């Protein structure tokens, strides 16, 4: 049933187009009827037998519903008369920036976003090794292999019940897209350092960073939503990580930031964003975001968050700005604007920050896409605060 729901969401625009073409209300039942006809190729009489009103079965078809099935019969989900945005399931608010971003690869990237996301795991190096976890997954009868880029990543080529994976319960692995693992890797936190995950959310990247630090030093996981921090604290305990402090912020300009100005070696800003890079994992997100506040307001919020978090970085320290977006406004343009306003920061090119990452679509920044990298869409930029000049001998 869940697979059917996801399939309907991945064909949202096209199903709506067909219903509008035949003057029908865009409601869930009509969408299901259109799906069964256009995608599964069922004839009206076959569908009528499914909609028989029996226990656990849908209500009996009405005459006008049967008439819709007759009109749709023989059609397919795609139609040459569909606008490109509809055929590619690209919401109008994102079409222009995504076309500008991908140019001739636009159709290929949009098609990749309509596929299912893989199951990626990150091995908790505090508790186990990738080799041990690969053997354990094989013993469970699962096909899995080491991730192509992430050093602690595993890709599982099955869809197991997560409850059947004992290594999740013990904290030996966490579910984390390979792209997200690479963003955490770019923070390059060392044992003994002081680190802030400024928009920690559920704590996935915090966990990866804390493991990088070998449970030594101090990492502060910040967020403005208390429930997220409480859930993340449970994950930290399960993972056996005790170098993490959670900090609830009232806003991006919380007083705590001023009190700890210049106090951290590394600061990660995994900014709230449109989420365009996660559409294959969250197919409903493309029809929600960024309706709540608008893309311009979201970009403005990102700029405020980035500027505020930058105050925490000590001279010589690094600031990592990341999104799960593929829109230039939220990524390269956001970083360029920040650097123009903060001359004490400079961009660290990717080949210096992480020379092992050679498949980014951007020379200076980490830029991952589903079609190119088979990860979620991610962007990350590493910036360094210039060290203060040594005091004069005079």
Sign of CA dihedral 7, 17, 51, 74: negative
Which CATH number is associated with domain 178-385?
3.40.50.150
Q: What is the pLDDT of residues 85-138, one digit of tens each?
A: 999 999 999 999 999 999 999 999 999 999 999 999 999 999 999 999 999 999
Provide the 10 A C-beta neighbour count for residue 342.
Answer: 15
pLDDT at residue 289, rounded to an integer: 61
Domain extents in the chain: 2-87, 119-175, 178-385
Q: What is the pTM of this model?
A: 0.93
CA 82 to chain centre: 29
Q: What is the pLDDT of residues 231-290, one digit of tens each?
A: 999 999 999 999 999 999 999 999 999 999 999 999 999 999 999 999 999 999 998 866
pLDDT at residue 391, rounded to an integer: 57
CB of 318 within 8 A of CB of 384? yes
Which of 199, 222, 273, 324 is flagged as catalytic? 324
Of residues 216, 224, 218, the one with CA closest to residue 198: 224
Question: Which residues does residue 122 pair with via DSSP β-bridges, in sequence order?
Answer: 153, 174
119-175 to CATH, choices 3.40.640.10, 3.40.47.10, 3.50.50.60, 3.30.70.1170 = 3.30.70.1170
CA distance 337 to 307: 10
Tokens in use for 68? Answer: 């819709």
Tokens in use for 15? Answer: 């199903």
Q: Is 324 a catalytic residue?
A: yes
Q: What is the pLDDT of residues 59-97, one digit of tens each?
A: 999 999 999 999 999 999 999 999 999 999 999 999 999
Q: Long-range pairs for 281-288 at CB < 8 Å and ≥24 separation?
A: 281/117, 281/177, 281/376, 283/6, 283/9, 283/10, 283/12, 283/114, 284/9, 286/89, 286/90, 286/91, 286/94, 286/113, 287/9, 287/12, 287/91
Q: What is the pLDDT of residues 143-153, one digit of tens each?
A: 999 999 999 99
- For residue 175, name the pLDDT band (cuts at 50, 70, 90): very high
């Amino acid at each position: 049933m869940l697979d059917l729901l996801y399939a309907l969401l991945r064909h949202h625009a096209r199903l709506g187009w067909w219903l509008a073409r035949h003057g029908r209300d865009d409601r869930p039942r009509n969408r299901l009827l259109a799906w069964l006809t256009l995608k599964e190729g069922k004839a009206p009489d076959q569908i009528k037998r499914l909609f028989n009103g029996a226990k656990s079965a849908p209500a009996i078809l009405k005459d006008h519903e049967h008439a819709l099935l007759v009109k749709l019969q023989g059609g397919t989900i795609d139609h040459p008369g569909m606008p490109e945005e509809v055929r590619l399931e690209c919401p109008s608010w994102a079409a222009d920036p995504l076309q500008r971003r991908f140019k001739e690869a636009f159709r290929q990237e949009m098609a990749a976003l309509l596929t299912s996301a893989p199951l990626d795991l990150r091995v908790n190096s505090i508790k186990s090794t990738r080799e041990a976890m690969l053997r354990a997954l094989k013993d469970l009868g699962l096909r899995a292999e080491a991730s192509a880029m992430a050093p602690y990543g595993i890709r599982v080529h099955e869809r197991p019940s997560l409850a059947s994976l004992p290594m999740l319960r013990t904290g030996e692995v966490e579910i984390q897209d390979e792209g997200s693992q690479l963003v955490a890797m770019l923070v390059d936190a060392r044992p003994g350092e002081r680190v802030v995950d400024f928009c920690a959310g559920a704590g996935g990247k915090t966990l990866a960073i804390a493991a990088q630090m070998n449970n030594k030093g101090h990492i502060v996981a910040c967020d403005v939503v208390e429930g997220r921090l409480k859930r993340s604290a449970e994950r930290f305990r399960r993972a056996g990580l005790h170098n993490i402090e959670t900090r609830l912020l009232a806003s991006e300009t919380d007083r705590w930031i001023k009190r700890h100005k210049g106090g951290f070696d590394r600061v990660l800003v995994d900014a709230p964003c449109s989420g365009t890079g996660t559409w294959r994992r969250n197919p409903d997100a493309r029809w929600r975001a960024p309706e709540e506040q608008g893309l311009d307001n979201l970009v403005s919020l990102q700029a405020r968050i980035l500027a505020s978090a930058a105050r925490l970085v000590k001279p010589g320290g690094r600031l990592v700005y990341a999104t799960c977006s593929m829109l230039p406004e939220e990524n390269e343009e956001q970083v360029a604007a920040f650097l123009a306003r903060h001359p004490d920061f400079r961009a660290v090119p990717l080949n210096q920050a992480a020379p092992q990452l050679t498949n980014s679509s951007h020379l200076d920044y980490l830029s991952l896409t589903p079609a190119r990298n088979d990860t979620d869409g991610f962007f990350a930029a590493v910036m360094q605060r210039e060290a203060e000049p040594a005091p004069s001998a005079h």
